[in-house]
Amino acid sequence: MNFISSRYEILDKDKDKNIVSGKLYKARDLQEDNLVFIQLIKDNEHINEKFLPNLIDESMMLFEISSPHIAKILDVGIHLTDEERYYYITNEFFSGIELKKVIKGNYMDLNSIVKITKKILRALDSGYRNNLYHGSLSEDNIFVDENYNIKIYDYCITQANKGVNIRKENSIAFLSPYQLNINYTDKDSDFFTLGIILFDAIFKKMPFGIGKDEQDMLKLIDRGIDWNSVGINNENIALVNIVKKLTRRTEKYSSVNEILIDLSKFMYVKADIEEKNANTLEVVEKNNEINKYQSKIFQKGMILALTITILVTILSQFK
């Protein structure tokens, strides 16, 4: 399967592998002669019968949202094979890689994590101001370029499906308890997922693990995060507290601005710690220089005293 709808040629699929449902593939639009991202979503029991017309309506809203971090939907349709029925979604192209690869490749320090998180939040805020939540955030649909600019894909998919997450492959670990339990999605679902992504970015592991099904995943979430198994220190504690507030069920964040304020506080505290560490290092270096200078003076004094002693001894022998 190298062509979709006789219009899109998939460019980055391994020849020996089948298309993965829900994965974003680099493709060429033969009609417009430009690059796009395309994905096939396999029809399943979670997808509403009015999903496609709803998606067309919802995708029109994206063109009214002015955000450099939200990918526009360019085309949607149905792709049939001999065995399966798929929905295809074509998005604008972005020269970057999945956030999952950035995290696993250890390409981010805490500053980069905060920088990316702020851009995700600004994108979410643009959506909320237009009555549009995401509902299916994951590390696979957030793309990052070499300058840590981002583009978020899969907007409108959950909302077009009446708030029911369509359960893309490997997505179960990023769903909120309400999505897993009663298929309810809202802004809080996005915040919960952001907490999971943040945890993985900081500690390189999923906070609750990955369950084999919805009930198993709910049990893992109810069990909670084992904070003793990760390295919490003075440098990341404020960021960890943000993760805790994003993933708990009570006393949660109520707005994007609240999270941004806490992120700004974290950066201020981190900068203060770095400044203190730098000042401490400077003091230590100055003390070392003083000690070296005093040591040199002491050595010169000892040599002078020894020289005088030798001269006195020689002169006394001639008397």
pLDDT of residue 296: 66
* pLDDT at 281 exceeding the cut of 50: no
pLDDT confidence band for 113 (50 / 70 / 90): very high
Q: Please give the model's pTM, rounded to 2 decimal places.
A: 0.83
As for how many domains the chain has, the answer is: 1
Residue 276 lies in a domain: no
What does the pLDDT average to over 121-147?
96
Residue 131 belongs to a domain: yes
For residues 40 and 46, what is the distance between their CA atoms, to the nearest angstrom? 15
Confidence band (pLDDT; 50, 70, 90) for 178?
very high
Averaged confidence pLDDT in the chain: 88
Tell me the CATH number at 176. Answer: 1.10.510.10
Residue 186 lies in a domain: yes
Residue 169: its pLDDT value, please? Answer: 77
Q: What is the mean pLDDT of residues 144-155?
A: 96
**Within a domain: residue 231?**
yes
pLDDT for 214-264, tens place per residue?
Answer: 999 999 999 999 999 999 998 999 999 999 999 998 899 999 999 999 999
pLDDT-derived band of residue 163, with 50, 70 and 90 as boundaries?
very high
Q: Is 31 part of a structural domain of the chain? A: yes
Say yes or no to pLDDT of 18 above 80: no
| Domain span at 97 | 3-254
Phi-psi region of 213 (alpha: psi -120 to 50; beta: other; left: phi over 0): beta
Asked if the structure places residue 193 within a domain, the reply is yes
